Structure 1
Amino acid sequence: MARHWPTYVVCGLIVQMLLGCSGEPAANKATTVNASDVQVVAPKADGNLVVAFGDSLYAGYGVAQNESFPHELEKALKAKGENVEVRNAGVSGETTQAGLQRLEFTLDGLPRKPDLVLLGLGGNDMLRGLDPAQSEKNLRAMLDILKARKLPVVLTGMLAAPNMGADYATRFNAIYPALAKAYDVPLYPFFLEGVIGDARYMQADSVHPNPAGVDIIVGKIAPLVSDKLAP
C-alpha cells in the first residue's frame, strides 16, 4: 500500500495537516464540528441512518458542508434510489483517543439506532507519531462498543507517511487490515486512494481533498456502504 505515497511531499505537509486539523481558527478553515454541535434531525422512518464518525476527512475541512464526504455520500446513494441519511459526525484534528471518548455520547445523541457506522480515525495519531499499538487499542475499543450495540461498521483506513520510517509504517499500516479481519467488517484500506498527490483533486495544503477529490472518494466507498445496507 505504501506505493500510493511517493508523490506526497511529506516534510512540510505533515505540519500543515496537523495545523489544518487542529481546530485552531483561520480564515480559510472550515468550522470545527464538535460532538455537541452535531444536529439531531430524525431521518425518514423507512430510510437508513448512516453515521460518518471520523476526523477532518469526514468533517469536511476546507470545503462547504454541502461538499463534505458525508453529504456527497448521501447524495450518491440517493441517486441510486436509496432512502438514506448520512450524518456527519466528523471532528477535525481528532485522534483515536478523542474519538473513543466521544463515541458513546454521539451514539446516544442520535434520534434512533443507526443502520451503519463509518469509522475513519487514526490519521492524526500517525501524523503526531503516536504509538500504533495505542491507536489500535483505541480503535478496538470503539469497535467493541459498536459490536456490543449490534451496529454494522465500514472501516476506512489510513497509511503512514514515508517519513515516519519503515518500522513505524509497518506497524501502523497493519492496524486496519487486522481489525477488519478480527471484527469481520468491510475495509476501504486508504481513504485518500486515487486523489493524494494529484493537484486536481486536492486542496492547496495537498492533504485534504477538494470537492472533486471528495467525489472520487465517494465513488469508491459508496458501493461498500450500499452492500452493507442491503437487506
Structure 2
Amino acid sequence: MGWSRALVLLVALALVAPAWAQSAASATARPAAKPRTVLVMGDSLSAAHGLASAQGWVALTADRIASTHPGWKVVNASISGETTAGGASRIAAELARHAPAVVVIELGANDGLRGLPLAQTRENLDRMIRASKAAGARVLLVGMRMPPNLGARYTEGFAANYTTLAETHDVSLLPFLLEPIARDRANFQADNLHPVAAAQPRLRDHVWPLLEPLLD
C-alpha cells in the first residue's frame, strides 16, 4: 500500500471512529426495559403470617417467575388481618404506585370469619376488580371457603360470591386457595388457620396454573 492510500485510510478511520463510539455509547446508555409487575393484594395467607416472608407462597412464586419469566416481578401488598373493605380502600393507591400488568386478589377470609354481610364482601371485591381492569391489568381472583359451623346459607353464599364475580367480570378464578392442604391438620400452624412453611410450595403450585397464563 502506498503512503498516499494509507494516509487516506487513516483519515477515513479518524472520521468514522467518533460515530462508532457515539453509537456504542448510545447502546450502552439505553435503559433496560421496565419489568412488568404482578401485584398481590391479600391477607395473612399471602403475607406469610408466622413465617419468614421468603417462605410464603407469594415469595416462592416470585422466585419461580424470576427464573421462568424474565422481565416480570412480584410486589406483595398483602396485610395480615386485611378485609375486603381494606383492600378496596387501598387498591387505587397500589395501582397508581406499581402500575401492575396482573393483579392477584386474595381477600375475603377475614370477612367470613367475622360474619360480615355477603353483599358487602361482594361489593368490595367488585370494586377491586373493576379498578384493576380499568387500569389495564389482568386479574386472578383467589377464593376462600368458610367452615360449616357458620351455616350452609352463609358458607354457600360466600363461595358463590367468587364464582359470580369471576363470571361477571370474565376474570380467572381459583376457587379455594387452601384446597390442596385443607384436610390435613399437620399443614397448619398452632392457630389452625395459617399454613406452615412446608405447605407453602403446594399453595404456590396450586396458584401457578392460573397465574402463569396471565404472564404472556
TM class by shorter-chain length?
0.7 to 0.9
What's 1:212 paired with?
198
The whole-number CA distance in structure 1 between the counterparts of 2:144 and 2:153 is: 16
The whole-number CA distance in structure 2 between the counterparts of 1:52 and 1:210 is: 20
What's 1:199 paired with?
185
Change (3 A) 1:152 1:158: same
Alignment of 1:153-168 (within 5 A): 153-168=139-154
Change (3 A) 1:114 1:81: closer
- CA RMSD, Structure 1 to Structure 2 (Å): 1.5
Could you tell me how far 1:223 is from its partner in structure 2?
2.0
Q: Which amino acid aligns with 2:68?
A: K
**Is residue 145 of structure 2 the alignment partner of residue 145 of structure 1?**
no
Could you tell me how far 1:79 is from its partner in structure 2?
3.7
What's 2:163 paired with?
177
Alignment of 1:60-75 (within 5 A): 60-75=48-63
Task: Verify the 8 A CA contact 1:200 1:212 in the aligned structure 2.
Answer: no
What's 2:113 paired with?
127
- Give the secondary-structure state (helix, strand or coil) at the position aligned to 2:140: strand
What's 2:122 paired with?
136
What's 2:17 paired with?
none
> Which structure's relative contact order is higher, taking Cα pairs within 8 Å and 6+ residues apart?
1
- Counting matched residue pairs gives 185
Could you tell me how far 1:81 is from its partner in structure 2?
4.8
What's 1:84 paired with?
72
Could you tell me how far 1:82 is from its partner in structure 2?
4.2
Task: Verify the 8 A CA contact 1:76 1:218 in the aligned structure 2.
Answer: no
- Give the secondary-structure state (helix, strand or coil) at the position aligned to 2:165: helix
- Give the secondary-structure state (helix, strand or coil) at the position aligned to 1:91: coil
Task: Verify the 8 A CA contact 2:142 2:174 in the aligned structure 1.
Answer: yes
Q: Could you list the per-position Cα deviations for residues 53-102 of structure 1 after superposition, in whole angstroms to 9, with x for gaps in the alignment?
A: 11111111111011122211111233435442111100111111111111
The whole-number CA distance in structure 2 between the counterparts of 1:64 and 1:56 is: 12
Q: Which amino acid aligns with 2:177?
A: F
Task: Verify the 8 A CA contact 2:47 2:80 in the aligned structure 1.
Answer: yes
Relative to the length of structure 2, the TM-score reads: 0.81
Task: Verify the 8 A CA contact 2:35 2:73 in the aligned structure 1.
Answer: yes
> Which structure is larger by alpha-carbon Rg, 1 or 2?
2
Of the three residues 94, 106, 109, the one matched with 2:94 is 106
Of the three residues 59, 76, 101, the one matched with 1:115 is 101
Change (3 A) 1:121 1:154: same
What's 2:45 paired with?
57
Q: Which amino acid aligns with 2:91?
A: L
Q: Which amino acid aligns with 1:168?
A: Y
Structure 1 unaligned blocks of 5 or more: 1-43
Moved over 4 A (4+): none
Task: Verify the 8 A CA contact 2:159 2:175 in the aligned structure 1.
Answer: no
Q: Could you list the per-position Cα deviations for residues 181-227 of structure 1 after superposition, in whole angstroms to 9, with x for gaps in the alignment?
A: 11111111001111123234222222111122111010111121111
Q: Which amino acid aligns with 1:98?
A: G
